[in-house]
Amino acid sequence: HERDTVDKSTVIGEELLFNYAYGHPDSPMLLVPNAPMANFINHGSEEDANVQIRWPSAGSKTARLFDWAYNRQKEDIYDDKFESTNHNAWLKDHPIDVMEKSGKLAFEYVALRDIEEDEEILIDYGDLWDDAWYEFQETHPNARSDFRHAIIVPDGFYPDNWLNVTD
C-alpha cells in the first residue's frame, strides 16, 4: 500500500519542545515524553546520571497498558486482564506507522542506583548532545540562536528498522 510521507523539505522553525524529545541521528523518529514529571529530568554526565530509559518489560502493567493502547480500536475499553501477544509491537513497525499512533507507546525511566530524597533526577543526554551544548556555549552570546537539540537515545534503544529509513 502507498504510505504517507513526512515532508522534511521545508522547516519553518524548531520549538523548545525539541529539547525534550529523544532521538537518534540516523532516524526521523522523535519520542516526546508526556508523563507529568518527564520535563524535570535534567542532563547529567554519564557518571552523574541516576536514571536511564528502557522499553517496558514484557508482562509489566505498563507494557500491557501500552500494548493494548497501541493495538486498540477506537471503541475498545481497557480491560486490565488484557494479555499482550505482541510485546512492544511498535519496535517492529516503520517509523511513519509508529508516528501515526502518537501517544500510544511507552518507555520507562529506571533508577540506576538508589536516589536520595531531594536529589535531582539526571539522565545522560548523550555525547552528541554534549558536543552541541559545548559548541553553543563557545559561541559568542550575540551570535547565538536558541539552543535546539534532541536528547540522544542510548545505543541499541532504537530498533534497526527505525534507523536509516526513507519515507
Half-sphere exposure of residue 108, counting CA atoms within 13 Å on the CB side? Answer: 15
Look at residue 113 in the predicted model and tell me its pLDDT.
95
pLDDT band at 122, cuts 50/70/90? very high
Q: pLDDT of 16-35, one tens digit each?
A: 677 788 999 999 888 888 87
* Average pLDDT of span 39-61: 89
Angle made by CA atoms 47, 42, 93, in degrees to the nearest 5? 95
Q: How far from each other are the two terminal CA atoms of the chain, in whole angstroms?
A: 13
Q: Give the whole-angstrom CA distance, residue 130 versus residue 45.
A: 9
pTM of the model as a whole: 0.76
Look at residue 154 in the predicted model and tell me its pLDDT.
92
